[in-house]
Amino acid sequence: MSDIFGDDFTWELKKYFLESTSKDVESFIDLLDDSTLAKVTLEIRESVDSWQIDAKTNEFAQLESWLVDFKSKIDSLDTVEQLRTGLGLLLKYLTALLTEKKDSEELAARFPLVAQSNREALFLHCKTGTQEFVVPIGNVIEISGVLPVYILPDAQPGLAGLLPFRGDAIPVIDLNSYGFQSVDLSKCYYVICEHEGMRFSLKVTEADELISLKDRDMQNLSDHPTMLSVPFIKQFFVKDKHSVMVLDIEKLVAA
């Protein structure tokens, strides 16, 4: 099935998947109300796993990624209206695939899923020169002052060196290699972070306050192509008329 719509039989299989999934989505929308929200949310979560597998089998790569994102946001879609909106976007995406017979990043971008939860999360506000970003406080261990950084002769891209911390040597992420401003080593701090047992540090010029944010405060970076393009930053928010980037720690570790 390397040629997505190269023959009628292949398309009929893909069409069946899109139509049957659309019917499932419509059924969930009809079932949703305040009394069924918890039960239907659980059923949707289970169905998304199946849809995701079928999307991959039918070579809808962007739809598969969209479904992965949808599943990660289900808990944030915590009202009937929000969950219906998310399902409605999925239904429109499936309908567009049936019409256009071609999956693409551009098509998926027409149906952006943004969680509108009332839940809040706490972040550490940091700066590198004039650039601002926040780090989830749950990943922050401590903020250290000036420390020696040991440069590695054959360091991989994105790694500035190693930093001594509590008897260990932890990597220093080189934000400069991703387009952030260069900073004076003698005038910086190190935000020590941890993700799934892996420790690393971020070099910053300020780490000055904690900020509480809701999902609805966030904007997608993809909607503003003039901003800094970084693989581990997908969202930002506005603070005092300045754009503040939101670091995705999981993607940062994987970068």
The helix (run of H) or strand (run of E) holding residue 121 is: strand 120-128
Structure confidence at residue 5 (pLDDT): 44
| Domain C-terminal end among 108, 128, 149 | 108
Q: Same domain for 103 and 128? A: no
- Residue 18 tokens read as 């899109």
218 contact partners, CB below 8 Å, separation of at least 6: 114, 235, 236, 237, 246
Are 30 and 95 part of one and the same domain?
Answer: yes
Residue-wise pLDDT tens digits, 161-173: 899 988 899 999 8
- Residue 233 and residue 222: Cα distance in Å, rounded? 10
For residue 58, being part of any structural domain is answered with yes
Per-residue pLDDT band for 30 (boundaries 50, 70, 90) equals: very high
Query: 125 and 247: one domain?
Result: yes
Whether 144 and 235 share a structural domain = yes
Ranked by mean pLDDT, the top range of 48-62, 119-133, 160-174, 220-234 is 48-62
Shared-domain flag, residues 99 and 156: no
State how far the Cα of 18 lies from the Cα of 228, in Å rounded to an integer: 36
1 located within any domain: no
Say what the pLDDT of residue 4 is. Answer: 46
Tell me the average pLDDT across 51-68.
94
Q: Is residue 102 domain-resident?
A: yes
Domain end marker among 65, 82, 108: 108
Position 125 pLDDT exceeds 50: yes
Length reported for the chain: 255
Backbone φ, ψ for residue 133 (5° rounding): -155, 165
Query: pTM of whole model > 0.95?
Result: no
**How large is the average pLDDT for residues 111-137?**
81
Note the pLDDT tens digit of each residue in 216-241: 788 887 776 666 678 888 889 998 88
Specify the DSSP element, H or E, that contains 233.
Answer: strand 233-239
**Which among 108, 137, 152 is the end of a domain?**
108
Pair (100, 127) in one structural domain: no
Q: Is there a single domain that holds both residue 149 and residue 241?
A: yes
- 174 and 86 within one domain: no
What is the tally of structural domains in the chain?
Answer: 2
More reliable by pLDDT, 132 or 151: 132
Assess if residue 84 is contained within a domain. yes
Which CATH number belongs to the domain containing residue 157 in this structure?
A: 2.40.50.180
pLDDT in tens, 79-115: 888 899 999 999 999 999 999 888 998 888 888 876 5
Domain assignment of residue 200, given as a range: 120-254
pLDDT for 3:
47
Given a contact cutoff of 8 angstroms between Cβ atoms, the answer to whether 169 and 150 are in contact is yes
Does residue 187 surpass a pLDDT of 80? no
Residues 125 and 101 in one domain: no
Structure tokens at 154: 């054959």
DSSP assignment letter at 200: E
